[in-house]
Amino acid sequence: MNKKKVFNQKVFVINNLICKEIRCLKKHVQDNRSILIESLKIVQKYYGWVSDNSMIFLSEILKIPVSEIESVATFYSQIFRNPVGRYVIKFCDSVVCYITGYKKIKKTLEKKLCIKCGETTTDNNFTLLPICCLGACDKGPVLMINNKTYFHLNKSSILKILDSLK
């Protein structure tokens, strides 16, 4: 079987799973807009990000225009519109973390990973993204890697965290 056919079959299976989960959500709401963010999260859970094709697919399931889905998807920083690495590092660049050492955190991460903000390492392991306040301002500087949050960071704690993820 050729690669394209295998890929299309994989997409078909995954989209069926996505459809099943979203159908369950739809049973509990009157307006599909109320489950749009959750639906985007479901797509991201399966694909790791939300592509243009996925938005067209969501538009068909939810009967919401693609333009509306796109505006929601691009507004929320937790929805990725481009492929990301295995570990998504989101470091807080809001005011308190900025004061407590954001610049050093950013410099350490960029230097260690050899990428700039918004980029992914060539081995697809790490993506570096700035993010607004993570709600732990008294513990800054703060960052989040996938779903885990790290507090009171400094250069050596960041290097230890990164080493533990390899």
Query: For residues 115 and 150, what is the distance between their CA atoms, to the nearest angstrom?
Result: 20
Residues 89-118 that bind ligand FES (CB under 6 A): 92, 94-97
Strands 87-92, 143-145: parallel, antiparallel or unpaired by DSSP? antiparallel
Q: Is the bond preceding 141 in cis, omega lying within 30 degrees of 0?
A: yes
Query: For residues 25 and 102, what is the distance between their CA atoms, to the nearest angstrom?
Result: 39
Residues 56-85 that bind ligand FES (CB under 6 A): none
Minimum Å gap between C-beta 143 and ligand FES is 9
Residue 134 found at the interface with ligand FES (CB under 6 A): yes
Residue 145 found at the interface with ligand FES (CB under 6 A): no
Minimum Å gap between C-beta 99 and ligand FES is 9
Q: For the chain, how far is it from start to end, CA to CA, in angstroms?
A: 35
Specify the amino acid at residue 142: V
Query: For residues 56 and 160, what is the distance between their CA atoms, to the nearest angstrom?
Result: 41
- In the list 133, 145, 159, 161, the residue contacting ligand FES (rule: CB under 6 A) is 133
Please identify, using beta-carbon distances, which residue of 48 and 130 lies nearer to ligand FES: 130
Please identify, using beta-carbon distances, which residue of 15 and 149 lies nearer to ligand FES: 149
Name the residues that contact ligand FES, by CB under 6 A.
Answer: 92, 94-97, 133-137, 140, 142
